[in-house]
Amino acid sequence: ELEGDERAFQERIDAGVRIEPQDWMPETYRKTLVRQISQHAHSEIVGMLPEGNWITRAPSLQRKATLLAKVQDEGGHGLYLYAAAETLGVSRDDLIEALHSGKAKYSSIFNYPTLTWADIGAIGWLVDGAAIINQIPLCRCSYGPYGRAMVRVCKEESFHQRQGFDIMAKLAAGTQAQKRMAQDALNRWWWPAVMMFGPPDGESVHGAQSAAWKIKLHGNDDLRQKFIDQTVPQADLIGLTIPDPALSLNAETGHHEIGPIDWDEFYRVVKGDGPCNRERLATRVEAWEKGAWVREAAMAHAMKQRNAA
């Protein structure tokens, strides 16, 4: 039974009132948001790395320009999200430090390698496709700055998803070798994308409390099912096969049912032991160190402007 401030807070949430930075909030609400928003921000900037790997090898000028724009959008999403986290009284430097020291999490999906050009198609189609399904409800979450950041992010994600699906559709309709490449990318990205939504609801540590606070408007399993139901017909349309022999359409419920998910793999990757975890962190840390002169120059310039004013 909630009392006092906590009770009044929950009543505001239940009534659909948005919480803003200056409002009173329980410390655990603030901490949950800092955790989720900063993990989300880290995911955006670590998520730039697997695709960045292909910018110099995109197969045409147009594909290169499109991929560059997408990866820049992700840098922008990271910035909106770090700014949203800062409204909760944390500093961006501390958040970045937590990422670089390995303390903070980011999405498991970005610890897989991008071996061929088709992986860029698979990321846009599946990873951005999953991201949109997870993020559309977040536009209506109880914390104002997070919800507002999500509105713009979702618009850009839908362009990202389309560019990925376009790459996959073109490859799937191409030569035998191109079609094989597309199928191979789908084989490798399907299960990690299904895992992106997080553990099953029964094992979700934060799920129930975040639902009560309207930070999460749907459970992990519901969103995962929505992604599966959306993606299976898309694969059919372009003649690719979802790598799951148990996949079947339940005529009664209208849902596609999948085979078992390898949760051991998920937890291994989340704990730092996926195929690319070490490489991703090392690249981020190196970029931060090599960018020190840019930060110093920007500070020096800002000081000069201020002194001149």
Binding stretches for ligand FAQ (CB under 6 A):
35-36, 39-40, 43-44, 47, 74, 105, 107-108, 123, 127-128, 131, 134, 196-199, 204-207, 210, 216, 220, 270
User: Of 118 and 176, which has the nearer Cβ to ligand FAQ?
Assistant: 118
Q: Quote the CA–CA distance of 126 and 121 in Å, as a whole number.
A: 8
As measured in angstroms, the least distance from the Cβ of 309 to ligand FAQ is 38
User: Of 9 and 227, which has the nearer Cβ to ligand FAQ?
Assistant: 227
User: Among 159, 198, 168, which Cα is nearest to 186's?
Assistant: 168
Cβ proximity of 130 and 196 under 8 Å? yes
As measured in angstroms, the least distance from the Cβ of 286 to ligand FAQ is 19
As measured in angstroms, the least distance from the Cβ of 66 to ligand FAQ is 14
Using CB atoms, what's the residue nearest to ligand FAQ? 47
Q: Quote the CA–CA distance of 157 and 128 in Å, as a whole number.
A: 6
As measured in angstroms, the least distance from the Cβ of 43 to ligand FAQ is 4
User: Among 216, 193, 213, 192, which Cα is nearest to 265's?
Assistant: 192
49 alpha carbon, distance to own chain's centre: 13
What type of residue sits at position 116? T
User: Among 101, 90, 107, which Cα is nearest to 39's?
Assistant: 107
Cβ proximity of 231 and 126 under 8 Å? yes
User: Of 149 and 270, which has the nearer Cβ to ligand FAQ?
Assistant: 270
User: Of 75 and 174, which has the nearer Cβ to ligand FAQ?
Assistant: 75
As measured in angstroms, the least distance from the Cβ of 150 to ligand FAQ is 9
User: Of 216 and 256, which has the nearer Cβ to ligand FAQ?
Assistant: 216
As measured in angstroms, the least distance from the Cβ of 306 to ligand FAQ is 35
Cβ proximity of 223 and 197 under 8 Å? yes
User: Of 127 and 181, which has the nearer Cβ to ligand FAQ?
Assistant: 127
User: Under the phi-then-psi rule, with left for phi > 0, alpha for psi from -120 to 50, and beta for the rest, what region is 97?
Assistant: alpha
Q: Helix 92-100 crosses helix 27-52 at what angle (to 10 degrees)?
A: 60
As measured in angstroms, the least distance from the Cβ of 40 to ligand FAQ is 4
Which residues sit opposite 249 in a β-bridge? Answer: 256
As measured in angstroms, the least distance from the Cβ of 196 to ligand FAQ is 5
User: Of 21 and 199, which has the nearer Cβ to ligand FAQ?
Assistant: 199
Which runs of consecutive H residues, i.e. helices, occur in the chain?
Answer: 4-14, 27-52, 61-86, 92-100, 118-122, 129-138, 144-172, 176-195, 207-212, 220-237, 263-268, 277-290, 292-308
**Helix, strand, or coil here: 74?**
helix
User: Of 242 and 269, which has the nearer Cβ to ligand FAQ?
Assistant: 269
